[in-house]
Structure 1
Amino acid sequence: MQGPSERADHVKRSVAITGIGVVAPGGVGKKAFWDLMVSGRTATRTISFFDPSRFRSQVAAEVDFDPNRYGLTAREIRRMDRAAQLAVVSTRECLLDSGLEFAELDPHRVGVSVGSAVGGTTRLEAEYQVLSDSGRTWEVDAGYLSPHLFDAFTPSSLAVEVAWAAGAEGPATVVSTGCTSGLDSVGHARDLIAEGSADVMIAGGADTPISPIAVACFDAIKATTPRNDDPEHASRPFDRTRNGFVLAEGAAMFVLEELEHARARGAHVYGVIAGYATRCNAFHMTGLKPEGREMADAIRGALDQARLPAEAVDYVNAHGSGTKQNDRHETGAFKDTLGDHAYRVPVSSIKSMVGHSLGAIGSIEIAACALAMEHGAVPPTANLHEPDPECDLDYVPNEARERRVDAVLSVGSGFGGFQSAMVLARPGAAS
């Protein structure tokens, strides 16, 4: 690793992705995830974790996940909330994928950055059901209390579990910026390496919000789709008939390291994080202005940082949640920032296949972007059969497309007004 004197010039410290781990609806592991992406199949279905019949929206994208099968011990399963379990399993995959010998690294130079919007919601709700006898009593019996409930209550436990899995003793952070958390956590990790505060970061996002309380919250604001009779086709970004997003769960984690160190050890480099920017519109908790000014500002910031012109973007991974206002909002932002190139570059939303996993989806989308560069293919937007006339760009309907991808723009939009953008590129494609 570089010494202190070499860390001073952070401008020259390019940050590479050298390991990827994914636990997503439709398959566990990066290979299963990518196979789903290029197939155009959807992993959305009727909720099976609990009886959803009393809710307006009864569909979700669930992960078929058996923690025993993926190497978690009985003690780890009892200790960890489901979000932490997904984070640890995807962390183990990305560590192995990177080929880094972590035992040979200075653990104080290895950090963690995990994004999550709702933290240990799954465990918290399950424990409340036990303590209150399904809400029938206000006087709870502490004898039924799990000794690990506090871990679910504090989102920081996510970073702790990932740090333990990697043996990381450097900076450890949980980033919670709503639906941009998984993108912002990777951006934060990249900045720590670039400024010299760490040499290696384990970064990504994990969320498991498919629980009655989360479903009820989104029902209350009518953000999720009520298309319960056709769950496989319920998520329809950019389609004229879209009527809300499909709630999901998942995790994706990455090994990030300084590019020259990765090259020196002969690591496989998926790409570099060439640019990242985030903004807040300070306008409304859930509302968006159609022109997309704040997202456009974040996109410009990421492209400027990457020193890439709009024409260099080969693929745009859209937020594409499937709500009326979001899809129009970001379509306006793409036109504003990319100009005429917005009509030529392929744009797609993988939420059409794996749903919207809140604080995890930004990281899952980064995985899709890195793998698009790796395999020379652009994932499609599934279920796009009747394009909204106001969403008139090339949204890659229904079928993946072969295409060399040297630079990718990925964007995120979150309740509270968060707008983030990241540029991934092949080494050498960005200045």
Structure 2
Amino acid sequence: MSGGHVRRPVITGVGVTAPGGVGVKEFWKLLTDGRTATRRISFFDPSPFRSQVAAEADLDAELSGLTPQETRRMDRAAQFAVVTAREAVADSGLDFAGLPPHRTGVTVGSAVGATMGLDQEYRTVSDGGRLELVDHTYAVPHLYNYMVPSSFATEVAWAVGAEGPATVVSTGCTSGLDAIGYAADLIREGSADVVVAGATDAPISPITLACFDAIKATTPRNDDPEHASRPFDATRNGFVLGEGAAMFVLEDLDGARARGATIYAEVAGFATRSNAFHMTGLRPDGREMAEAIRVALDAARLAPEDIDYINAHGSGTKQNDRHETAAFKRSLGEHAYRTPVSSIKSMIGHSLGAIGSIEVAASILAMTHDVVPPTANLHHPDPECDLDYVPLTAREQRVDAVLSVGSGFGGFQSAIVLADPERSGA
């Protein structure tokens, strides 16, 4: 609240870099076609690993407008963030050069930071792991930037000329939702007039594969990469690793209306909880996620019956999909059975901290086009997951309000409610 005026955060610019499509249009076409971008890993030889499939983004740094110096300086995840932020800024129609820079903020979510850069540099300075005492002279000059995820916010701030609050949010696989929730708070409380917010991760590296192999979280379905990610399916056996970014421009509703901006959605409610239970385990009753959903709905002043679509976390692990189904029933009651639910991880994999923001992009596009994206590869419904998961084919349906949720290692549970202020007449 500022000067008696209730500030309402809305999204007016969207950018996406995802597997199967760089840019919003290609991303949305992949989802509505129900195509999968999961394949055998091509970045390195994955044959030593239990899980050898992933969803890789086909980003060409030069074609995406990055200079050779930027490409040299930035880890792949930072490159995703900058390219995607530029798309969101262009989409917003805002003249960032004319904005007061100290009133422009940046919030970037990331679960694992510069994983690919660090992995590559360790291999280089250790001569492929042969040197116990590494030779730092072989490292890239900007190695420090890989060590501190705060460099992601720095790069985006430089790219858009932001001199206001600049933050990295790292809360595991809910980072992408939490970064947008935090950005909305900056707008709401008057700390910034415009915030470029979203999340990025590029985790497809040997160290990441080894870690997820150890706990058997990723699928070993290597013989059929296109159908390996199977959220809510009875034959699911782990998630498929992904990568990418989504970034947004957030501003106050009144200011957006005054300048005639395209308003994609209002960030009407957000909440996050921790289960304080287990680093990777989930209670089957979904109580903490249900509580996050309830608080987010209360903040949005919406009833369960107002939700037209649920964009699920839907990772494709046995415990997550059961946990999430229980949370929807617990928080939405009977309306859970009448609400379409889908998981886009079935098509673009699980990009850890980035996926929450990419799922917000999918939710916004569902509202824009009145189309619910499908859950690919859902041929054998799990009897324990008995909601309407929109199998295989996109569905035309009016979508004015979306609930998107995330669940992350460490016990994080987040929920965000996106609503169309124009259709509601608010």
Give the TM bin, normalised by the shorter chain.
over 0.9
1:48 aligns with 2:57: no
> In the alignment, which residue of structure 1 is the partner of 2:105?
111
Could you tell me which residue of structure 2 aligns to residue 141 of structure 1? 135
Output the CA distance in 2 between the equivalents of 1:249 and 1:204. 14
Q: Does 1:308 align with 2:291?
A: no
Say yes or no: does 1:82 pair with 2:45: no
**1:430–1:236 Cα change, 3 Å:** farther
Counterparts of 1:213 and 1:68 in 2: how far apart (Å)?
27
The secondary structure found in structure 2 opposite 1:179 is: coil
Measured in 2, the distance between the counterparts of 1:396 and 1:291 equals: 23
The 5-angstrom pairing of residues 23-422 of structure 1 reads 23-422=17-416
Q: TM-score, normalised by structure 2?
A: 0.99
Corresponding residue SS for 2:199: strand
Q: Assess if the C-alpha contact under 8 Å between 1:22 and 1:251 holds in 2.
A: yes
Query: Partner letter of residue 8 of structure 2?
Result: S
Regions of 4+ moved over 4 Å: none
Q: How much does 1:7 deviate?
A: 1.6
Match of 1:3? none
Partner of 1:421, secondary structure, is strand
Contact 1:274 1:430 in 2 (8 A): no
Assess if the C-alpha contact under 8 Å between 1:238 and 1:322 holds in 2.
yes
1:7 aligns with 2:2: yes
Unaligned runs of 5+ in 1: 1-5
3-state SS in 1 of match to 2:334? helix
Distance 1:430-1:315 versus aligned 2 partners, 3 A rule? farther
Using the alignment, how far apart are the partners of 1:101 and 1:188 within structure 2? 23
Give distance in 2, aligned partners of 1:115 and 1:31.
23
Distance 2:283 2:3 in 1: 41
Q: How far apart are residue 8 of structure 1 and its match?
A: 3.9
> How far has the Cα of 1:145 moved from its partner?
1.7
| Distance in 2 (alpha carbons) for counterparts of 1:410 and 1:106 | 32
Deviation at 1:139, TM superposition (A): 2.1
Distance 1:311 1:140 in 2: 59
Q: Deviations over 1:183-216 (max 9, x none)?
A: 1000000001100100100000000000000110
Q: Secondary structure at the match of 2:174?
A: helix
Alignment-mate amino acid for residue 282 of structure 2: L
* Unpaired stretches in structure 2, ≥5 consecutive residues: none
CA distance in structure 2 between the partners assigned to 1:71 and 1:378 by the alignment: 32
Distance 1:235 1:101 in 2: 41
Note the C-alpha offset of 1:9: 3.9
Deviation at 1:430, TM superposition (A): 8.7
RMSD: 0.9
Deviation per CA, 1:11-42, whole angstroms, max 9, x where unpaired? x2111100000000000000000001100000
Q: Indicate conservation of the 8 Å contact 1:205/1:251, yes or no.
A: yes
Three-state SS of the structure 2 residue aligned to 1:146 is coil
- Contact (CA 8 Å) 1:45, 1:232: kept in 2 or not? yes
What do the CA deviations read for 1:313-343 (whole angstroms, capped 9, x no partner)? 0000000000000000010010011111111
- Aligned-pair identity in percent equals 72
Q: Which amino acid aligns with 1:122?
A: M
Give the SS at the match of 2:173: helix
Task: Classify the secondary structure of the residue corresponding to 2:130.
Answer: coil
Q: Contact 1:234–1:246 at 8 Å: present in 2 too? A: yes
Offset from partner CA, 1:239-288 (integer Å, 9 cap, x none): 00000000000000000000100000000000100000000000000000
| Distance of 1:64 and 1:379 partners within structure 2 | 22
Q: Is the 8 A contact 1:156 1:174 kept in 2?
A: yes
SS at match of 1:257: strand
Kept in 2: contact 1:181–1:359 (CA 8 A): yes
> What is the letter of the counterpart of residue 396 of structure 1?
V
Would the aligned equivalents of 1:307 and 1:430 in 2 still touch at CA under 8 Å?
no
Q: Distance in 2 between matches of 1:417 and 1:230?
A: 31
Aligned residues: 425
Q: How far apart are 1:231 and its partner, in Å?
A: 0.3
Work out the CA distance in 1 between the residues paired with 2:378 and 2:3: 49
TM-score (norm: length of structure 1): 0.98
